[in-house]
Amino acid sequence: MAEDRSVLDRAAPGPDQSWAYGPGAAQVADGYWPEGGASAGPRPVVVLIHGGYWRPEYDRTHLRPMAAALAADGYPTVLLEYTRIPGDPDAAIDDFRLALTSLAEAVDVSAGVVLVGHSAGGHLALLAANHATVIGCLALAPVADLVMAEYLDLDNGAVHAFLGRPAADRPDLDPARHPVPAVPTTLLHGVEDTLVPAAMSEAYCSERGTRLVLLPGTAHFELIDPLSATWPSVMAELAALIPSSGIE
């Protein structure tokens, strides 16, 4: 099955609000708000984390169609950027932690945060699932096992480029070597994914008892494309992680 990459270049509305969560050029976040704005009642905030195998050439802009669609469905959505320096993985991890810790300065997080990460962003979401503000995690085709991803040489050595060393040297950054997330967590993966094999999510979930949803006839990018036939499944799994009082 060919990968449909059309969402990566699709025009989308700009954010309703943007802010810096640190002094670095990449330490920025975009807010997409539902009707009524960011403060229209306490609702869980969706924090959206983009993929791109942690490479500097891939930024948050390709998730703008998804962020706008989530806001249109009533979810206050924060689309995060983070530093991507080959060989310096801690820059990305530290940015993500700082962004979550400082999020309350920009938006009401009293109802909690639901992490939604795609691909490499799914890797970051799984690592941060136990953050104090997080109430749920939806990992879309995540790079959930760095050792396996390195062995498979995904994206021409992306894991080694990210870490700057063998994956076995950084078990602290490998979701497959972390404890089971303490919050409700779902991995959603297309069976036809050619960029991150579904077998990775299958192995991760079988070892932890984490919820896994496999989508036949689905590749990598349909999971972030509001125009795809897969989108209703993404929205259903997100809704399942939101307390019933979260979205009115």
- Whether the predicted pLDDT of 35 surpasses 90: no
248 within a domain of the structure (yes/no)? no
Residue 211 is assigned to a structural domain of this protein: yes
Residue at 1 is within a domain = no
Answer yes or no: pTM beyond 0.85.
yes
Name the pLDDT band for 36 (thresholds 50, 70, 90). Answer: low
The verdict on residue 136 lying in a domain is: yes
Q: Is residue 246 part of a domain?
A: no
Is 245 within a domain?
no
CATH of the domain at 92: 3.40.50.1820
Distance, first Cα to last Cα, the chain: 38
Q: What would the pLDDT profile of 162-171 be if each residue is shown by its tens digit?
A: 999 999 999 9
- The DSSP code sequence of 146-189 is HHHHHHTTTTTTHHHHHHSS-GGG-GGG-GGGSPPPSS-EEEEE
| pLDDT, average across residues 149-164 | 97
Which domain does 192 fall in, by range? 6-240
Q: How far is CA 78 from the centre of its chain?
A: 11
| Whether pLDDT at 67 is above 60 | yes
How many separate domains does the chain show?
1
Give residue for tokens 């063998």.
Answer: 166
pLDDT, tens only, 71-128: 999 999 999 999 999 999 999 999 999 999 999 999 999 999 999 999 999 999 999 9
User: Quick check: 17 and 30 in contact, CB under 8 A?
Assistant: yes
On whether residue 247 sits in a domain, the answer given is: no
